[in-house]
Amino acid sequence: MQITGQQVVLASRPDGAPKAENFRLEKVTVRPPGEGEILLASRYLSLDPYMRGRMDDRKSYASPTPVDGVMEGEVIAEVIYSNHPDFTVGMHVLSRSGWSSHCVSNGDGLIPLDDRFKPITTALGVLGMPGLTAYTGLMNIGKPAPGETVVVAAASGPVGSLVGQIAKKAGARVVGIAGGKEKCQYVGETLGFDEVVDHRSPDFVSELAKACPNGIDVYLELVGGEVWNAVFPLLNPYARIPVCGLIAQYNANDSQKGTDRLPVLMREILSRSILFRGFIVREYWDQRPEFLDEVAPWVASGDVRFQEDIVFGLKNAPEAFMGLLEGKNFGKLIVQFD
Amino acid sequence: MQITGQQVVLASRPDGAPKAENFRLEKVTVRPPGEGEILLASRYLSLDPYMRGRMDDRKSYASPTPVDGVMEGEVIAEVIYSNHPDFTVGMHVLSRSGWSSHCVSNGDGLIPLDDRFKPITTALGVLGMPGLTAYTGLMNIGKPAPGETVVVAAASGPVGSLVGQIAKKAGARVVGIAGGKEKCQYVGETLGFDEVVDHRSPDFVSELAKACPNGIDVYLELVGGEVWNAVFPLLNPYARIPVCGLIAQYNANDSQKGTDRLPVLMREILSRSILFRGFIVREYWDQRPEFLDEVAPWVASGDVRFQEDIVFGLKNAPEAFMGLLEGKNFGKLIVQFD
């Protein structure tokens, strides 16, 4: 058995926004699986904002990807050869095997996908890591009460869209923020948010204030940047801010000159009794069964809607990823392997 | 009955650190208590950092003191005349009657003080608002686990000293930060903190790091400023930061030029899953009985130590208060009325 696969490696570390030259598509020879091993063929790759952090040489909650190392990521893969009793050919699994067409695995860490995932790509989006992020961040930290105002940025994306839909079910008034007419229309009409504000509007700040006449009680922070500046003055006493993403600042350098916003932030945390809590979804991994039990039926019934943006071909992953950081995707961004 | 009292009013709003000219000592004629009213003579006035905020014309969790209005504050007062069935002459009460020698009251909001408060000034300090702040901030937000590292700034002050002593009882390793040799010695030897670091030391940053070899799990924020800059890099994943004071920035103006520290803060909140939670002690007012049940016996037995800095004469209150904002007091600052 001789298989030639392909993979995308980190060619060099980006300075600011990633460029095509920071990625390299390589051909690789896949070794045959040994005893107790299986061979996986990747079908779908999830592209997510957190990957930007791994490209920097900076310790974070996870180690950086080494230069010349395969770009990290979660894939849906199919077992195409098995020397392992627990995995049969044709099975689909979630695997953290990265931007790579194949993977030899001993089975550790693989998550078999059952027929609750329809279509199977939902395992990367609304029923996957982004969905679990939305659900656990809202339930454990945001805790919206009926009648409260929940604001969701990146509202057409996989995390924001689910946060808003679950918050609606909890009886909250939900205001979405998205970029551009098409996304805003989707958020308002298809997802049924109470209000939508376009962050590209020149009057974004005042439009957000107008959409939140009773202030903001929960803001799930996914983006940072200018959206945060507009949200901050509207926060009510006892507002809760689950922080799980900062896409607007991932490409920025650390030392930003200008006004130091920290003293005012701290003062307002104090005087408005605000809660901030960062979280990484793995903290709540043990809530995945309950999440799937609750949300999968909503997805199956069409009660919860989702949007996927599927790009064909691994060679197009770098460009798609660069677009993700600029909000060019519409819905959960997924690469289908060729 | 004709009584002449005195009071301190806000003469003008300070620009930066308050100056003597921002205060004015006035003689006032006290009106006789009417039906259902009592006359209070103030015995002790609590001076607290939050008062600085009331001097500014800025909406916060409480309204600003108007110019020419009496400076706000909590006092221990004695009933010297009573037309009210619930209050007898000689009773001591807590009253929010401000920097004023007398007060006519209908009894609303007064808190009678029983014999658990020994000396009675403890009702303004270790068993008063600062003590309740320490207790509730630590128990509801900080939640130290045995073996964790708790760092306390303003460690010789009424909040910090109690936070540290309660955290020790909870099995935590407690590191205090104080300014100057005398305070540091008190924190280490009398209060029994595990380590003490002097924030006036030129090597403060490295000394704090050395005192926290396992990082910081809980930091009760009372001061902000340079102490925060030293604490921030040492925070462990899942660190908890109850925010109840920012004394180092109360005199500063809002728009501080220089590096914007907000993006790095947000990034670290995210990547280290940090919790920030501002709180005002009134949020936990219903925990006062349990606080007194637990802490008053410790104070009575000498198991919990406290320090009071008592200044004589209302006319000296402004200077004492200005010193408080610079850390010149040693222990809970109280003005004894003449």
CATH assignment of the domain containing B253: 3.40.50.720
By C-alpha distance, which of A308, A283, A320 is closest to A117? A308
DSSP per position, B10-32? E-S--SSS--GGGEEEEEEEEPP
For residue A292, being part of any structural domain is answered with no
Subunit contact A256:B255, Cβ cutoff 8 A: no
Question: B209-243 as b/e, with b when 16 or more CB fall inside 10 Å?
Answer: bebbeebbbbbbbbbbbebbebbbebbbeebbbbb
Q: Both B194 and B99 in a single domain?
A: no
Q: What is the rounded CA–CA span in Å between residue A16 and residue B251?
A: 37
Q: Does pLDDT of A253 surpass 80?
A: no
Residue B249 in contact with partner chain A when CB distance is under 8 A: yes
Instruction: Find which of A266, A279, A283 to mutate to test the B interface (most B CBs within 10 Å of its CB).
Output: A266
What interface predicted TM-score (ipTM) does this complex get?
Answer: 0.91
pLDDT of B61 reads: 76
Q: Does A265 touch chain B (CB under 8 A)?
A: yes
Give the pLDDT mean for A281-303.
Answer: 97
Asked if the C-beta of B272 comes within 8 angstroms of chain A's C-beta atoms, the answer is yes
Total of domains in chain A: 2
- CA-nearest residue of chain A to B259? A257
pLDDT of residue B253: 61
What are the backbone dihedrals phi and psi of residue A130, each rounded to the nearest 5 degrees, phi first?
-65, -40
For chains A and B, CB pairs below 8 A equal 126
Q: A244 in contact with B at a CB cutoff of 8 Å?
A: yes
Number of neighbours of residue B312 by Cβ within 10 angstroms: 11
Chain B contact for A276 (CB, 8 A cutoff): yes
Average pLDDT over residues A223-243: 95
Domain contains A140:
yes
Whether B268 shows a pLDDT value over 70: the answer reads yes
B255 pLDDT above the threshold of 80:
no
Residues B184 and B112 in one domain: no
B252 or A55: which leads in pLDDT: A55
Position B63 confidence tier, pLDDT thresholds 50, 70, 90: confident
Which pLDDT tens digit goes with each residue over B16-40?
A: 999 999 999 999 999 999 999 999 9
pLDDT value at residue A256: 65
Q: Which of A222, A241, A235, A244 is nearest to A325 (CA)?
A: A222
- Flag if A256 and B258 touch (Cβ within 8 Å): no
B49 and B179, same structural domain? no
Same domain, B319 and B255: no
pLDDT at B60 over 80: no
Residue of A nearest to B63 (CA): A271
Average pLDDT for chain A:
95
Predicted local confidence at residue A252, as pLDDT: 74
Kindly report the nearest CA distance between residue B235 and chain A, in angstroms: 13
Query: Are B266 and A221 inside 8 Å of each other by CB?
Result: yes
Does any domain span residue B205?
yes
Instruction: Indicate which of A270, A283, A284, A285 best probes the interface with B, i.e. most B CBs within 10 Å of its own CB.
Output: A270
One domain for residues A88 and A140: no
Residue of B nearest to A251 (CA): B263
Q: Does B245 lie at the interface with A, CB-CB under 8 angstroms?
A: yes
What are B119-170's pLDDT values in tens digits? 999 999 999 999 999 999 999 999 999 999 999 999 999 999 999 999 999 9
Task: Please report residues of A whose CB lies closer than 8 A to that of B264.
Answer: 254
CA angle A300, A301, A305 (to 5 degrees): 80
Cα dist. B33→A54, A137, A225, B7 in Å? 71, 56, 57, 18
Q: In the structure, what pLDDT confidence band is assigned to residue B228 with cuts at 50, 70 and 90?
A: very high
Give SS3 for B176.
Answer: strand
**Helices and strands, number each (H, E), in chain B:** 9, 16
| Cβ–Cβ < 8 Å for B307, B156 | yes
Q: How far apart are the first and last CA of chain A?
A: 20
Q: Looking at chain B, which runs of residues are DSSP E strands?
A: 3-10, 23-30, 38-46, 75-82, 92-95, 102-105, 111-112, 149-152, 173-178, 195-198, 216-220, 235-243, 256-260, 275-278, 308-312, 332-336
Phi, psi of A21 (to 5 degrees): -65, -15
Average pLDDT value for chain B: 95
Residue in the structure block whose two tokens are 């209005």: B69
For A270, which of B237, B274, B278 is closest by C-beta distance? B278
DSSP A228-257: HHHHGGGEEEEEEEEE---GGGTTS-S-EE
**Statement to judge: residues A172 and A220 lie in one domain:** yes
Last residue of a domain, one of A282, A297, A317: A282
Instruction: Quote the minimal CA–CA distance from B327 to chain A in Å.
Output: 19
Rounded CA separation A107/A93 (Å): 10
Chain B residue closest in CA terms to A63: B271
> What's the mean pLDDT in A283-312?
97
Query: Could you identify the residue written with the tokens 């195409």?
Result: A80
Q: How far is CA A209 from CA A161, A203, A227, in A?
A: 21, 10, 12
**A239 and A321 together in one domain:** no
Residue B299 maps to a domain? no
Which of A221, A227, A6 minimizes the C-alpha distance to B267? A221
Same structural domain, B270 and B133: yes
Write out chain A residues lying below 8 Å of B280, CB-based.
270-271, 273
Query: Which candidate, B199, B256, B263, B278, places its Cα nearest to that of B231?
Result: B199
Nearest CB among A245, A260, A266 relative to B260 is that of A260
- Give percent of chain A above pLDDT 70: 98
Nearest CA in chain A to B277: A275
- Does B257 sit within 8 Å of A258, measured CB to CB? yes
Taking an 8 Å cut-off on Cβ atoms, the answer to whether A278 and B273 are in contact is yes
Q: Are A169 and A146 in contact (CB under 8 A)?
A: no
Q: What is the pLDDT of residue A63?
A: 86
Contact B273 A279 (CB under 8 A): yes
**What pLDDT shows up at residue A61?**
76
CATH number of the domain that residue B121 is part of = 3.90.180.10
Residues of A in contact with B255 (CB under 8 A): 259
Q: Is residue B151 in some structural domain?
A: yes
Give residue-wise pLDDT tens across range B65-116. Answer: 999 999 999 999 999 999 999 999 999 999 999 999 999 999 999 999 999 9
- pLDDT per residue as tens digits for the range A38-66: 999 999 999 999 999 999 998 777 889 99
CB atoms A256 and B263 under 8 Å: yes
Range of the domain at A314: 3-125+306-336
> Given an 8 Å threshold on Cβ–Cβ distance, is B269 in contact with A255?
no
Q: What is the mean pLDDT of residues A300-307?
A: 96
The whole-number pLDDT of residue B254 equals 54
Residue of A nearest to B283 (CA): A273
Nearest chain A residue (CA) to B247: A267
Rounded Cα distance, A225 and A15, in Å: 19
B window 43-72, beta carbon within 8 A of A: 53, 60-61
Tell me whether residues A267 and B246 touch, CB distance under 8 A.
Answer: yes
In this structure, the answer to whether residues A50 and A144 fall within a common structural domain is no
Q: Which of B261, B275, B283 faces A260 most closely, judged by CB atoms?
A: B261
Question: Is A200 among the domain residues?
Answer: yes
Contacts of B277 in chain A (CB under 8 A): 269, 273-276
B99 in the same domain as B37:
yes
Q: Tell whether A246 lies on the interface with B, counting CB pairs under 8 A.
A: yes
Q: Is the same domain home to B121 and B161?
A: no
CB-count exposure of residue A124 (10 Å: 0-12, 13-18, 19+): buried
**Residues B224, B263 share a domain:** yes
C-alpha separations of B140 from A53, B136, B143 in Å: 33, 6, 6
- Cβ-contact A74, A129 below 8 angstroms: yes
Mean pLDDT of B190-213: 97
Q: Give A-chain residues touching B243 at CB under 8 angstroms.
A: 266, 269-270
Task: Say if A293 falls within a structural domain.
Answer: no
CB of B267 closer than 8 Å to CB of A255: no
Residues A153-176 as b/e (b if ≥16 CB within 10 A, e otherwise) read bbbbbbbbbbbbbbbbebebbbbb
- Answer yes or no: do B265 and A265 touch at CB < 8 A: yes
- What's this model's pTM, rounded to 2 decimal places? 0.92
Q: Is the pLDDT reported for residue B277 higher than 70? A: yes
Kindly state whether residue A320 falls inside one of the protein's structural domains. Answer: yes
